[in-house]
A and B are shown apart, each in its own frame.
Chain A
């Protein structure tokens, strides 16, 4: 089973502070993703990456930066955290499988962030 590990699992931050959420995958997948999950909105894509050194904007990138320093690691950075960024954040990895003709995403357990 593919492994995606997120840290920290819980985080309390102050408004205006900097927050870094980390994600590590041992699947050797090229693609990695950051989603946030809020009641009433489902999961929404923030940033994604196709490989080390690349980051792309998702559907709701404002207020977030991403960094992909290596194949295994993908970070989400909140430079100036706001209460509206209180949410549960999920990292995922995935790659196209020619055998099954599908791109399965494997999610981490999530980081619960509260911005006070």
Chain B
């Protein structure tokens, strides 16, 4: 069974700082890696996904995937108070089934 571990558990940074979140997974046969954002009392919302080794950038978000080390990271540039949320890393084992295995999440707080 695939295992997904996220670090740190929580993070507090000042507004405008660069944020780095980490995620490790156990199965090199995993397909896409996803990052979801979850605000209190809401459902998770997909932010960005990556399949190939390397990096992918979308707006203020950059994700890096290293399949050899089974590690993926999410970087948020110029953080805003509205970025305060729980960030969930999720691994898809079958590209078209949509079944995701989630990590426990990182709680991010941006201080104005």
- Per the CB 8 Å criterion, the residue count for chain B at the interface is 25
Contact A90–B98 (Cβ < 8 Å):
no
Is A103 touching B92 in the complex (CB atoms < 8 A)? yes
Closest B residue to A108 using CB positions: B43
Are A104 and B99 in contact, with the CB atoms below 8 A?
no
A4, B43: Cβ atoms closer than 8 Å: yes
Is A99 interfacial (CB-CB < 8 Å)?
no
Q: How large is the interface on A (under 10, 10 to 19, 20 to 34, 35 or more residues)?
A: 20 to 34
**Do B42 and A59 touch (CB < 8 A)?**
no
Number of A-B contacts (CB under 8 A): 64
Majority secondary structure of chain A interface residues (helix, strand, loop or mixed): strand
A94 to B46, CA, bound (A): 11
Q: Which of A12-20, A39-47, A77-85 touches B?
A: A39-47
Distance in Å from the Cβ of B23 to the closest Cβ of chain A? 11
- Residues of A near B43 (CB, < 8 A) are 4, 90, 92, 107-110
Q: How far is the CA of A104 from the CA of B32 in the complex (A)?
A: 10
The answer to whether A42 touches B99 (Cβ under 8 A) is no
Within the assembled complex, what's the spacing in Å between the Cα atoms of A110 and B41?
A: 8
Over the window 83-116 of chain A, the binary record of Cβ atoms lying under 8 Å from chain B Cβ atoms (1 yes, 0 no) is 0000000101011100001111111111000000
B44 touches A90 (CB 8 A): yes
Known: A59-B1, A102-B32. A43 touches B98 (CB 8 A): no
Whether B96 pairs with A96 at a CB distance below 8 angstroms is yes
Q: Which residue of A42, A44, A45 is within 8 Å of B105 (Cβ)? A: A42
